[in-house]
Structure 1
Amino acid sequence: MSTTQSERLRELLEPLVSSQGFDLEEIAVDSVGRRRVLRVVVDSDTGADLDRIADVSRALSAKLDETDAMGQGEYTLEVGTPGAERLLTEHRHYVRATGRLVRFQLAEGGELVARILEVGDDGLDLEVPGVKGRKATARRLAFDDITRARVQVEFNRKDDASDKKDDEKEEEA
C-alpha cells in the first residue's frame, strides 16, 4: 500500500502539533517553480496567537530537519490558521464556529445563511436572520442535510463577549 508524502508528513507531524495544543487541520506540499512549499494549517478551541504559531513552526521545523520527510531539496515551511472564511468539515469546526454566521449548501438544493447557536451530536440549532424587517427564526439542521458550510465574515457585528465586557466596565464605574 502506497502512502502519499502528505500522509507521511501527517503521521510525522500530527503528534507534535497535538502536543502543542493544536489540531492539525491540513497539510499541503506545493511546487512553485523549482521551489517547494510545505503549508501546515493548525487550529485549537482557544484560537491561536502569533506567539503560539511561531512556537509550533519552530517545533515542526526542528522535527523536519532531523528527518528526511521533505527529501534533500530546499523547501519553505508555512504554518498558519484556517482563516476567517474557513470551510467547516469536522464536528469540532462547527463547535468553534458557534455564534458565527455560516453559509450552508443544502443536500436538498439551495443554500441557507444562518448563525450557529448550538452544536449537537447530529446537527445544529440555528438562528436564521429576518429579511425586510422580519424577526429572526430558529431552525434545526441535521449534519446529513449539509453538503458544504463556510463561515462568513461580518464587519459590522458587535461581538457578544465585548458587549459583556463593556457592561462590566459600566457597572464598575
Structure 2
Amino acid sequence: MGAARSSEVTTRLRAALEPVVAEAALLLEDVTASPAGRRSVVRVVVDLPDGPGGVDSDALAEVSRRISEVLDDVDLLQGAYTLEVSTPGIDRPLTDPRHFRRATGRLVRCATPAGPRAGRLVDTDADGVWLEHDGAREHIDYAGITGAKVEPELRPARDEDGLEDEA
C-alpha cells in the first residue's frame, strides 16, 4: 500500500467508522491500516469522549463487532484483514485538555520549562491542570506543559479484609 493510498484509505476508514463509534458513545481516537504479509491490519483506538473512567470490556467488544460489520460492508480494504480495537492505554502522551480530564484522579508527570512536576491530577480548568503532591496543590497552565503522561501505580495486593497480602 503506497503512502498516498494508505492516507486515502485511512481517511475513508475514519469517515466510515466515526459514526459507528459515536453511536456507541465513544470517540474514535485513531485508525490505521497497514500491510502485514498477505493481509492488512486495521488498528482502531477508541476512548470515552471526556471525563475520568474507562471503556469497559463489554462496550469494547460491542464496538469491535460493529466496526467489523462496517468494514465488511464498506469494503475499503483489498483482501483479508485483521482488526484490532483497543483503548489508548496508560502510555498515551497527554497532549489535549480532554486527555488531562480523562486522567483526573491519576498520578501524572508533566515536563515544564521550570522542570518536571508530578502529582495526582485532581482537577482541570480551561487554562490548565491542578496537581496535588504532599498536600499542596499546584496549577500548571496547558501552555507551560511540554510533555505529560500518566504514571503507573503499583499497589500491594490486599486480602479480603483490606490488609496487605504478605505473599
Q: TM-score by structure 2 length? A: 0.80
Quote the residue 1:78 is aligned against: 84
- Aligned equivalents of 2:109 and 2:123: distance in 1? 16
Report whether the alignment pairs 1:25 with 2:25: no
Report whether the alignment pairs 1:121 with 2:120: no
Report whether the alignment pairs 1:56 with 2:63: yes
Contact residue 42 and residue 84 of structure 2 kept, 8 A: yes
SS of match in other structure, 1:14: helix
Report whether the alignment pairs 1:11 with 2:10: no
**Residues 117-164 of structure 1: CA distance to partner in whole angstroms, max 9, x if unpaired?**
111011111113xxxxxx443211000111221111101289xxxxxx
Amino acid at match of 1:118: D
Q: Percent identity?
A: 42
**Residues 72-119 of structure 1: CA distance to partner in whole angstroms, max 9, x if unpaired?**
21110111111123222222221111111112122x263222211111
Q: 1:8 to 1:127 in 2, by over 3 A?
A: same
Choose from 24, 36, 42 the match for 1:38. 42
Choose from 91, 98, 101 the match for 1:92. 98
Quote the residue 2:109 is aligned against: 103
**Residues 31-75 of structure 1: CA distance to partner in whole angstroms, max 9, x if unpaired?**
2333321111111145222211111011111111111222x2111
Amino acid at match of 2:41: V
Give the count of matched residue pairs: 150
Which segments of 5 or more consecutive residues in structure 1 lack a partner in the other structure? Answer: 129-134, 159-165, 167-173
Amino acid at match of 1:90: D
RMSD of the alignment, in Å? 2.2
Choose from 57, 63, 66 the match for 2:73. 66
Contact residue 94 and residue 100 of structure 2 kept, 8 A: yes
Q: TM-score by structure 1 length? A: 0.77
Contact residue 32 and residue 43 of structure 2 kept, 8 A: yes
